[in-house]
């Protein structure tokens, strides 16, 4: 069977992260959503996404296909039902379509003609940006079981202070000395060639992905995920960093999500709680206004390629678009559009020519090229988000 992950109606609720990737490539827990599905299904998947992303994330259609809503995270019960799908069958949870059978070239899907299978089991769904951090603990626990079942961890050096070692798993090549790891509240997973430096204090649930680094004296409160090839220092609480991003110095990051190729300058801090303890509102790209989240704790949402200078201060519930550059004293406003350059005193447009120059240097340090597909995606985002910029 050929499995295709589609963005679904939650795509716009997950901006700015889905400006640069399909929903399937969001990281939550240890793995991306795509990596989870491919592990459970034991096969590769492709994607139905926005047209401007299709060259980089193409769809491969075969004679018979199963379409899966990428907002849903797999589990054994759901995967069993999906593997059993037959012609003209679809799986629903309430009014939401989770998965359906489709034949090649079938463009018009009328679910009134389908046999509806109701899924009443528990399942994690990522439908808003804040779900990425608020559901991260459960996602880490699911991924930890998936990745470590019937496997043995690499040994943990006796220089470390370890609590609940049975809930800690190290892959090969991990560097870990003179740190404290407490897995009483959830598992701790350290991936291949990752490093935790001396004096770091870590509480699970926590995931450190491939070749990432936790710097000396860091304080990490779970549930937190640090994606691959990232560096993190200072204090972090209940946050997700997709990968290739750095928070290398002191400063607080809490109840937040950072995309890829982001950088937070030294002593950057974000607020995750309003002074009056009121519900946090976040910028909503669909209504083009601020919407309720139902959360008391909610920090920073920063899209790919965005950066900030030293001593930057972010208000509770701040949304930063793609490829923004923020600096200067004071608090920038709670919504900073993509390709903005400036701070609390105002913003100008960050032209793509300048943004590409920076991106090529940043990505080149990881031996990754900003290619024509990437440039075309960023050019599209620049045009699509022009309406939000005042200059």
Q: Contact at 8 Å (CB) between 241 and 225?
A: yes
Helices assigned H by DSSP within the chain:
33-41, 76-83, 131-134, 136-148, 352-364, 372-384
Hey, what are 357's tokens? 């120059």
pLDDT value, residue 337: 97
Hey, what are 77's tokens? 């019960």
Cβ neighbours, 10 Å, residue 7: 21
Cα first-last separation, the chain:
50
Output the tens digit of pLDDT for each of the chain's 391 residues. 999 999 999 999 999 999 999 999 999 999 999 999 999 999 999 999 999 999 999 999 999 999 999 999 999 999 999 999 999 999 999 999 999 999 877 677 888 889 999 999 999 999 999 999 999 999 999 999 999 999 999 999 999 999 999 999 999 999 999 999 999 999 999 999 999 999 999 999 999 999 999 999 999 999 999 999 999 999 999 999 999 999 999 999 999 999 999 999 999 999 999 999 999 999 999 999 999 999 999 999 999 999 999 999 999 999 999 999 999 989 999 999 999 999 999 999 999 999 999 999 999 999 999 999 999 999 999 999 999 997 5
Domain limits, the chain? 2-118, 131-350
Instruction: Express each pLDDT in 128-167 by its tens digit.
Output: 999 999 999 999 999 999 999 999 999 999 999 999 999 9
Cβ neighbours, 10 Å, residue 2: 18
* Number of residues that make up the chain: 391
Cβ neighbours, 10 Å, residue 265: 18
Q: What's the DSSP call for residue 35? A: H
State the DSSP string of 143-202.
Answer: HHHHHHTT--PPPPPTTSEEESGGGEEE-TT-EE-S-EEE-TTS-EEE-TT-EE-TT-EE
Instruction: Express each pLDDT in 99-133 by its tens digit.
Output: 999 987 767 788 888 999 999 999 999 999 999 99
Hey, what are 50's tokens? 């926005």
**Domain 131-350 class, CATH top level:** mainly beta
Hey, what are 273's tokens? 């709680």
Let me know the angle formed at the C-alpha of 181 by 179 and 182, rounded to the nearest 5 degrees: 150
Q: What's the DSSP call for residue 334? A: S
Q: Contact at 8 Å (CB) between 46 and 4?
A: yes
């Amino acid at each position: 069977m050929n499995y295709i992950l589609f963005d679904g109606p939650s795509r716009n609720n997950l901006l700015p992260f889905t400006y640069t990737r399909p929903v399937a490539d969001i990281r939550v827990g240890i793995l991306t959503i795509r990596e989870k599905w491919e592990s459970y299904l034991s096969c590769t998947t492709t994607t139905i996404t926005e047209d401007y992303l299709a060259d980089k994330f193409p769809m491969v259609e075969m004679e018979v296909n199963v379409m899966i809503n990428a907002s849903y995270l797999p589990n054994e019960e759901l995967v069993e039902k999906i593997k059993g799908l037959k012609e003209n069958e679809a799986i629903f949870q309430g009014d939401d379509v989770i998965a359906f059978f489709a034949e090649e070239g079938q463009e018009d899907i009328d679910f009134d003609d389908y046999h509806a299978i109701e899924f009443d089991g528990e399942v994690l769904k990522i439908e808003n940006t804040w779900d990425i951090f608020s559901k991260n603990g459960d996602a880490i626990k699911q991924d930890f079981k998936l990745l470590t079942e019937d496997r043995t961890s690499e040994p943990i050096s006796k220089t470390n202070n370890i609590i609940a070692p049975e809930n800690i798993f190290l892959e090969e090549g991990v560097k870990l000395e003179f740190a404290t790891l407490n897995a009483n509240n959830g598992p701790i997973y350290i991936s291949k060639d990752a490093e935790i430096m001396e004096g770091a204090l870590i509480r699970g649930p926590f995931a450190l992905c491939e070749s990432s680094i936790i710097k000396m004296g860091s304080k990490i409160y779970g549930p937190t995920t640090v994606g691959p090839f990232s560096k993190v220092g200072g204090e972090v609480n209940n946050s997700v960093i997709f990968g290739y991003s750095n928070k290398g110095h002191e400063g607080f990051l809490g109840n937040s999500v950072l995309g890829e190729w982001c950088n937070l300058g030294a002593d950057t801090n974000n607020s995750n709680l309003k002074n009056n303890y009121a519900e946090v509102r976040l910028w909503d790209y669909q209504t083009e206004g601020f919407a309720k989240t139902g959360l008391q704790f909610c920090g920073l949402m920063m899209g790919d390629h965005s950066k900030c200078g030293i001593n930057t201060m972010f208000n509770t519930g701040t949304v930063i678009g793609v490829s923004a550059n923020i600096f200067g004293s004071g608090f920038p406003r709670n919504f900073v559009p993509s390709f903005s350059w400036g701070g609390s005193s105002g913003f100008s447009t960050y032209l793509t020519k300048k943004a590409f120059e920076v991106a090529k240097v940043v990505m080149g340090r990881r031996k990754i090229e900003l290619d024509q597909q990437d440039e075309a995606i960023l050019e599209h985002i620049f045009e699509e988000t022009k309406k939000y910029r005042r200059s």
